[in-house]
Structure 1
Amino acid sequence: MALNLSEIPRVKTITKEDFLKHYFKPQKPVVIERFINHWPAYSKWNLDYMKTIGGNITIPLYDDRRVDYKDGFNEPHAKMKLGDYIDLLKREPTKYRIFLWNAIKEIPQLQQDFSFPDFGLKLMKGVPMLFFGGQDSYTFMHYDIDLANIFHFHFEGKKQIILFDQKQNDFLYKVPHSLITREDINFANPDFEKWPILKKAQGYKTELNHGEVLYMPEGYWHYMRYITPGFSMSLRAVARNPKNFSKAVYNLLIMRYFDNAMRQLKGQNWIDWKNEQAIVRTHRKNGVAV
């Protein structure tokens, strides 16, 4: 048995008006296949190019280890020169990923390779973020702290994507006071005996190829696995839905600081309690004895 996932709709290209009408307003995801073919980045951006222009920069790395109470919010697990990291990606599978890296700040010439597209939303121009990963590396299922509208541009290789909207929260074993599900759920091949409520969740899936753009609506959960080594860039626009915007403000100003304070106060017991509550609350909401 597999997750209940529909294929994300695909279009070759799209007008601003059609995007707003068919995807932004109803808050549905879409893959746009040929929207950035005119960008210099479309033909230039690959791992070798990134190594050439930024190989000596030290970059933060993350792997798939579970959250530890000693970890700060988004604290990296390791650091490495970008050139050495790209050599590693091309040489062998690695769990190390680059996550939320504002490469444009450190390599300003990258800005010459792309333009901010007009989707009818005001994109935040100061925070184009890059993400790199090796074969079979993946992100835990999570949603972004600001519940932004996200445009995810993929370069080199192939990437598996699974999405859920916020209406699926009661089925995903969401960890309280955080932005993640239980980290021991393998969303690429879930164990339904261990996680039976996942069978109720309805989501989306796709595989992204070089030059394709994925639109992820506000607050969408996302799991991403690199089928082959590659990298992506995300551009984002502030959440427009008042409920999502207020959640974003709460997450940014209260939730993350509360969670960090509880880690310092209770240590690993806080992490263990949250993970236990993910099961207790999910089963209770779905009428399963706990």
Structure 2
Amino acid sequence: MHLEKVPRVSRISKESFLKEYYRPQKPVIIEKAIEHWPAYTKWNLEYMREVAGSKVVPLYDDRPVDHKDGFNEPHARMKMADYIDLLKREPTRYRIFLWNVLKEVPELQKDFEYPDFGLRLMKGLPMLFFGGRDSYTFMHYDIDLANIFHFHFQGEKEVILFAQSENEFLYKVPHSLITHEAIDFSAPDLNAWPALRHASGYRAQLNHGEVLYMPEGYWHHMRYLTPGFSMSLRAIARNPRNLSRAFYNLLVMRNYDGVMRRLKGQKWIDWKNQQAIDRTHKRNSGSLR
């Protein structure tokens, strides 16, 4: 794979962000955008235990998709205090995914604000994500193809990004938002997945207080190098093609996939995974010889 470093800036004006990154749809890390937030100094695992320790949280791991799984159905549940103990005690694959701050712990909203980067952020959807050392997400893109601002807290996280223009090389699973789950994007076997040799993307490491801008529909794979957590704020896709795809994903693709899982069971999942390989190799047949 051809991975370049995500550009970094210390701070950036709204005008410069729109001109240099949003309009050309390029990612960027802003290092010192939130130092004035109370969250910058307050948000760590112990603080989350203090304000949300009694909350029962949904947990996800890296097991392959099963036809019995519902859309975003958790693999386990645990009290936040017990989960934080687990994070600090030992490596774990369990992650918290799409945990709504406003719904679950409204008082956390006092610790941050909605920055003005020139995009209208969806203020009802601030989402938290937690992970233990070496836990990771499958390479995926978000169902609404939104512009995403990803704020990281405590520890370090590795991020690998691809634009939608790289789809033909990524072993995208049809009727899904993921690539083939057997690929380890942190250290892919290019003999097993030869089309990845032609993929061009970005790699970054996020540290406490840094903000990653991910343009509309960007694929992202995230691995926690140490226990930590992040918050995402999002702005609706403005590209008409991306916006129409978002509606298709929400209204058609998700429901169609659910029906096929019920009708065909695991055969549907296995067929999709094989199609990810067959279609990718067919599209790249000339360059893989």
Fold shared by both chains (TM-score > 0.5): yes
Alignment match, 1:254: 252
Alignment match, 1:150: 148
Question: Deviation string for 1:170-195 (max 9, x for gaps)?
Answer: 00000000000000000011001100
Whether the 8 Å contact between 2:149 and 2:212 is mirrored in structure 1 is yes
CA distance in 1, matches of 2:274, 2:137: 21
DSSP 3-state at the match of 1:153: strand
Deviation of the 1:103 alpha carbon: 2.5
Deviation of the 1:104 alpha carbon: 2.4
DSSP 3-state at the match of 1:136: coil
Alignment match, 2:223: 225
How do residues 73-84 of structure 1 correspond to structure 2 at under 5 angstroms?
Answer: 73-84=71-82
Instruction: Tell me how many residue pairs correspond in the alignment.
Output: 288
Counterpart amino acid of residue 199 in structure 1: R
Deviation of the 1:106 alpha carbon: 1.5
CA distance in 2, matches of 1:104, 1:15: 28
Question: Deviation string for 1:98-132 (max 9, x for gaps)?
Answer: 00110221211101000000011000000000000
The correspondence for 1:5, drawn from 3, 6, 27, is: 3
CA distance in 2, matches of 1:132, 1:195: 29
The correspondence for 2:239, drawn from 238, 241, 254, is: 241
The correspondence for 1:185, drawn from 179, 183, 186, is: 183
Alignment match, 1:87: 85
CA distance in 2, matches of 1:205, 1:279: 24
The percent identity for this pair of structures is 70
Q: Which runs of 5+ in 1 are unaligned?
A: none
Counterpart amino acid of residue 46 in structure 2: D
Q: Which runs of 5+ in 2 are unaligned?
A: none
Question: Deviation string for 1:175-216 (max 9, x for gaps)?
Answer: 000000000000011001100000000000100000000000
Alignment partner of 1:51 is 2:49: yes
DSSP 3-state at the match of 2:212: strand
DSSP 3-state at the match of 2:50: helix
The correspondence for 1:133, drawn from 111, 131, 144, is: 131
Alignment match, 1:39: 37
The correspondence for 1:164, drawn from 162, 172, 176, is: 162
CA distance in 2, matches of 1:63, 1:56: 21
Alignment match, 2:59: 61
Alignment match, 1:28: 26
CA distance in 1, matches of 2:12, 2:73: 38
Alignment match, 1:102: 100
Deviation of the 1:53 alpha carbon: 0.6
Counterpart amino acid of residue 195 in structure 2: I
CA distance in 2, matches of 1:44, 1:67: 36
DSSP 3-state at the match of 2:160: strand
DSSP 3-state at the match of 2:158: strand
Question: Deviation string for 1:107-165 (max 9, x for gaps)?
Answer: 11101000000011000000000000000000000000000000000000000000000
DSSP 3-state at the match of 2:4: strand
DSSP 3-state at the match of 1:27: coil
CA distance in 2, matches of 1:275, 1:105: 35
CA distance in 1, matches of 2:136, 2:75: 15
Question: Deviation string for 1:20-40 (max 9, x for gaps)?
Answer: 000000000000000000000
Whether the 8 Å contact between 2:101 and 2:109 is mirrored in structure 1 is no
Deviation of the 1:43 alpha carbon: 0.1
CA distance in 2, matches of 1:131, 1:115: 18
DSSP 3-state at the match of 2:275: helix
DSSP 3-state at the match of 1:199: helix
CA distance in 2, matches of 1:279, 1:95: 26
Deviation of the 1:287 alpha carbon: 1.6
Deviation of the 1:97 alpha carbon: 0.0
Alignment partner of 1:116 is 2:110: no
Counterpart amino acid of residue 116 in structure 1: Y
